[in-house]
Structure 1
Amino acid sequence: MAEPSLRARLAGLFNVRPGEAPAVTAGLLLFFLLFTGYFMLRPVRETMGVAGGVDKLQWLFTATFVATLAGLPLFGWLASRVQRRRILPWTYGFFALNLLAFAAGLLSRPDDAWVGRVFYVWLSVFNMFSISLAWSTLADVFASDQAKRLFALMAGGASLGGLAGPVLGTLLVAPLGHAGLLALSAALLVGSAAAATWLQRWGERHPAPAETGGARRQALGGSPFAGATAVLRSPYLTGIALFVILLASTNTFLYFEQARMVAEHFPDRVRQTQVFGLIDTVVQTLAILTQVFLTGRITQKLGVGVLLVAVPLVVAAGFLWLALAPVFAVFVVVMVARRAGEYALVRPGREMLYTVMPAEQKYKAKSFIDTVVYRGGDAVSGWVKRGLDLLAEQPSLALFIGAALAVAWAAIGLGLGRAQRRREREAQDAKDRGTDRFAAPA
């Protein structure tokens, strides 16, 4: 027998079936270009936040929450009236125009703090909508059995983009300036939209089975706030919302410390962007290694709960360490561990919690939790952190409170892991009995 070709061996290695390779390549490009552009701008955003004043960050977090509330119904209105294959190109095109407008603003008024503040809020809203929409496109094009085989492979494009973006930002910020980085990111976003458009056309030529193929050609419909009622009715979803609030709160406490320490140690704005970019590079490298070699094996052997508990406990220990040794090197270690762990462990664990929920709640309730609840937690914790900084002469007080929040975060994660495992068993029992697990309300 002839030896299998290199293409066949690669297809077998990555579990890609005949005819799927072009679509997988398009999905990889969709995520790679999107995340490269976004992570290239993340250090710019952090620099803008520091430039506006560390004591003003709580206002930026509040403005981001308000902008999220305003953006949800606008996006819902668009999705209810536009064919689903056109939602992403139109939305990304609008965002690309925004980036070019910001680039022009930075060129004409480079030292205007308000330009930086508006950009900070805009990018914080942009990342939520753009990433969610990219996943919606993949869910429309690929059938369920394909998603199980291919989604993780295509998500590798996001991790690679998260690694390439900070490197590009660090190398190019000096020759191009912040305005140049924004213009380059706009071009990458247009490229991501082009990849998504090609992917949609591939889906038209290779339609999904009848039970999923029709939905891809329909508008999303419904209200973007419909998930709020489901969260209030379901203790399980309420637990996920509490988990997200505590996650956002601990992240905000560390984020404020990051802004304060970077502003103290690196007064030059270009140097600040380079420091933020270097941190992002280390984080993404560790996240990719963990995702590829550890996350799946940990989940298979120990369950979802471990993914939800391990990082919060590490963060709690990091807060205590930072309170006792408040130096920049310690902070970098804690921040890198927190962010790499969140990308590689916590986020996959959070997404797995929804696998035991009805389809409607996977979209509506999840959207509400990931946007309104998350940004609301950001806003409230931002004001709490600022109040502690004003009332307490010892900055370690906020760090001890952060450690307590992280312990509560771990406790909620432990409970959610057990609830997810219980629901999984109930679903399997219902399947064995031939009944519908999701026939009753969640």
Structure 2
Amino acid sequence: MNQANQQSIYSQIDEVKNAVSDVLSYAKSLGATSAEAAMSSTSGLSVSTRMGEVDTIEFNQDGSLGVSVYVGNHKGSASTADLSPKALRSVVEKAVDIAKFTSDDPCNGVADKQLLEMSPPDLDLYHPWSLTPDAAISLCQEAENTALDADPRIINSDGASISSHEGLRVYGNSHGLIAGFPRTRHSFSTMVIGKEDEQMQRDSAFAVSRLSTELKSAKDLGIEAASATLAKLGSRKLSTRKTPVIFRADIASGLFGHLVSAIGGGALYRKSSFLLDSLGTQVFNPCVSIEERPHMLQALASSPFDSEGVKTADRTIIDSGELQTYLLTSYSARKMNMVSTGHAGGIHNWLVNPTEGDLDALLRKMGTGLLVTELMGQGVNTVTGDYSRGAAGFWVENGQIQFPVSEITIAGNLKDMFLGVEGLGADIEKRGAIQTGSVLINNMQIAGN
């Protein structure tokens, strides 16, 4: 990062901090007993190609401010994309007016002062990329061409896309906190179509990172997309059966995403979770442990504070299968007579501890069963835990992949699935908020022929 870029982004953050301060002061002058405001902005370039031709080139620059005011226990919220001084004053006035008509709720209010992050650490999240449209087009074309040239069975492309964005986030509230930080996000992907006999399949490859230097090369991305597509050709259905199942690392994070939903304060105080009253109880097989690490440098889900300004901290989520914490905002914590855990806005780098070697080691441990590499549909009920998804992947015997599988459904209940986890791979997927390897579950229902 050059010095000019760094000076520019921190100058912008200072300007936004001043605007947030003005908003909070104005809210107080209109009778708000407390208030909070958050402003974010993002700018960047997105380019996509298809079969070598430019599909889209987009430059975008977006910004918005949201403000919540509290008049006693009455809350009013409003937002604006117009960041002029006049518009900011107007949005505060609207929020105060709205508060006059909302119900009195003693759980309303900004986060408790003692929980706030008044001196946020620098987590090294800002790494801008001087990507030009011409360079972006060339990278997309190279990724597509590499995939198309990999094998005669790769007959078409669904396109390649690349994006580079930088932005900032500033949060402030009436306890005197005004803090902000810059961040970047870069991504690169391509998808191709293969054909063998009368069967056609498609698959993709993608990369995402805070740093452009951490993205896969166009050549590697193209080869990966082609290989994934070719592996699916000749897929078969399975007969209906019960069998062990491995969720490959890139989709296994979705399993733990259902845990996030089930232990979130909103679901719990509404009593709409299959993990009600589960704190301190065994919800996973004892082989499962999950840690949260919000301050990992350069990581995609790192943040010094949550969307309410509450300090984020290292936390054990699951310890040898036992649930150690709920995920609470200030509001849900008050509803449950507990304390905010700093999870307003989401989770921060969950690390699922591996118990085995790589995916091959997990396949050998399973012996015979299904390796799932793709899920379709939304058949998950986090109130009951019932789970049913369309799936595709590979049939495995004696620890070796035998043939690709498609047009099947896998089903179970998340409570049983969590307790049935028998192994966690060391093939860690790092492209999201949940970093996990592949997951072996001892038994699931397969619906096929």
TM-score norm. by structure 1 comes to 0.27
Greater fraction helix: 1
TM-score norm. by structure 2 comes to 0.27
Greater fraction strand: 2
Higher alpha-carbon Rg: 2
Larger RCO, structures 1/2 (Cα 8 Å, 6+ apart): 1
